[in-house]
Structures are given as structure tokens and as C-alpha cells.
Amino acid sequence: MFFVATRATLNISSTAFDKSRIVIARNGVLTIRNADRKPYVLTIGATPLTVRAKSSASLRLPQKGTFSIVCAKWPSLVATVVVK
């Protein structure tokens, strides 16, 4: 049996994510930690999430599926979250 975490963390440093793909359980919580001195406005699927400079933000993921995490200002800042 495959274990799927109910919590996951994605880190931002130097305008880059530390992972390109995260797998999390349905209704799990994704936390994004920002080590940079600038804020990021991300879109996870259709949900916006602002991560302030030197801070973190979390989002519960209630729907199964595969979702892109993108930043409109920094197109190279992309990742994928798979909700099982």
C-alpha cells in the first residue's frame, strides 16, 4: 500500500521551487515557504495564494487531480501538485 502524506512543503529560494512535483492526500495541506526577499503571487489550479517575503502560506487541497503551481510574474517558477 502506498502512503500519501496529508501535509507537504514546497520551498522557494532564488526564484525557484525546491521540487518540481508534490504528491499529497485529498484534504491535505500544502505549505509554501518563501526564503526570498520578495513576495510571490502564485496560482494553484484556479486558486490564488500570496506568499509574503521571508514567510509562508498554506492551502488545504480538497479536490483530487493534478494542478499546476505558477507565478504570473516569474514564469520559471512552476511546479505540479498531485492530489490523491
This model's pTM is above 0.85: yes
Helices (H) and strands (E) in the chain, counts: 0, 8
Which CATH entry fits the domain spanning 7-83: 1.10.1200.10, 2.60.40.420, 3.40.309.10, 1.20.140.10? Answer: 2.60.40.420
pLDDT at 2 over 90: no
**pLDDT for residue 3:** 80
CB 37 within 8 A of CB 52: no
CA 83 vs. chain centroid, Å, equals: 12
Q: Where are the domains of the chain?
A: 7-83
3 state SS of 57: strand
For residues 68-80, average pLDDT: 94
Top-confidence residue, 20 or 3: 20
pLDDT at 1 > cutoff 60: no
How far is the CA of 84 from the CAs of 10, 34, 38, 64, in angstroms? 17, 25, 32, 5
pLDDT at position 42: 97
Chain segment 11-51, per-residue pLDDT in tens:
999 999 999 999 999 999 999 999 999 999 999 999 999 99
